[in-house]
Amino acid sequence: MSKRQPRTLLELAISKVGVLKGARVCAFVCQWTMAAQAIGRPITIEEYAEWWSESERTAYRHQAEFRRVFGLPTPQVFADQAIVRSEALTRGVVGLGNLPLDVVMA
């Protein structure tokens, strides 16, 4: 019997690195999305760190975990998709962990 394919960002992250690291990576994506939405444009890792009052080193560690899971430089592509979708629904970034993969992997 084959395993069901992941359908959300959270499921994909968990399938690659386990529950703890997968949840941490998705939290980074959510935080990135909230900062980008608040700033109103794509952000840099330095702006992310400043927005969340984290050291740049901590931000870079989060980014490295994200890269290991998704192979992308930053979560901006996910953030852009989530922001567009959330603005259409006028609900902010609620439900980002349940965002279908086909929406963000296009």
pLDDT in tens, 93-105: 555 666 666 655 5
Could you write out the DSSP letters of every residue in 23-87? HHHHHHHHHHHHHHHHHTS---HHHHHHHTT--HHHHHHHHHHHHHHH-SS-THHHHHHHHHHHH
**What are the φ/ψ torsions at residue 8 (nearest 5 degrees)?**
-130, 165
pTM: 0.80
Is 12 within 8 Å of 5 (Cβ atoms)?
no
Count of residues making up the chain? 106
Task: Please tell me whether residue 8 adopts helix, strand or coil conformation.
Answer: strand
What tokens does 3 get? 């395993």
Please state the domain extents for the chain.
Answer: 9-93
Q: What is the pLDDT of residues 6-42, one digit of tens each?
A: 888 999 999 999 999 999 999 999 999 999 999 999 9
